[in-house]
Structures are given as C-alpha cells and as structure tokens.
C-alpha cells in the first residue's frame, strides 16, 4: 500500500463519518488535500508522507502539527479502517 492509497482510505472513511473532505479546488487536484470535522474545529492535512492536524481558530497548514509521519503508522491506520469496514459488512 502506498501513502496515496492509505490517505485515500482514511479520507474516504472520514467522509463517510461526516467530515468535509476537500481534494480538488477549481477543478484541479489539490497538492495537499484536507478533511475538516463537521463542527469545523479540527482539520487534517494529507501531505505526501505525513498527516498534520490543526485546531480552530487556526485551521491553516502553517499552524498544523504532525499527527503521523511514518509509513507504518499511516498504513496501519488505513488497514484498521479496512478491517473495520470488512467486519461491518
């Protein structure tokens, strides 16, 4: 599994959970997609090899901190989502 695949699994899961996931802007794929909680108080940024989070009122990437930055953690997160989805079928 690649970072891109893992990020997509995580973003799909967040979208299913009611998060606002933004991957395109003006018809173009964003370099750094992000997902925002339904309350708008937390945002996750999906960089090439890391996931960063920021909290309201400063939801910018500049104010974000790293949540996960290594392959095992990101891929394990994605695998856990896939396993949960498989069990819930």
In terms of Cα–Cα distance, which of 64, 67, 66 is closest to 55?
Answer: 64
Domain ranges of the chain: 3-87
Residue 45's DSSP bridge partners are 34, 52
pLDDT at 80 over 90: no
Tokens 């995580």, residue? 10
Question: Which is more confidently placed, 87 or 51?
Answer: 51
How much is the pLDDT for 69? 59
User: Is-contact 53 44, C-beta < 8 A?
Assistant: yes
Question: Which is more confidently placed, 42 or 84?
Answer: 42
Query: pLDDT tens digit string along 28-77?
Result: 999 999 999 999 999 999 988 788 989 999 898 888 888 765 556 777 87
pLDDT at 22 over 90: yes
């Amino acid at each position: 599994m690649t970072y891109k695949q893992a990020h997509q699994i995580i973003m799909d899961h967040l979208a299913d959970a009611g998060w606002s996931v933004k991957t395109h802007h003006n018809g173009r794929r964003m370099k750094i997609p992000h997902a925002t909680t339904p309350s708008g108080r937390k945002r996750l940024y999906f960089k090439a090899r890391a996931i960063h989070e920021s909290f309201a009122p400063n939801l910018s990437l500049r104010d974000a901190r790293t949540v996960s930055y290594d392959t095992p953690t990101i891929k394990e997160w994605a695998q856990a989502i896939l396993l949960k989805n498989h069990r819930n079928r």
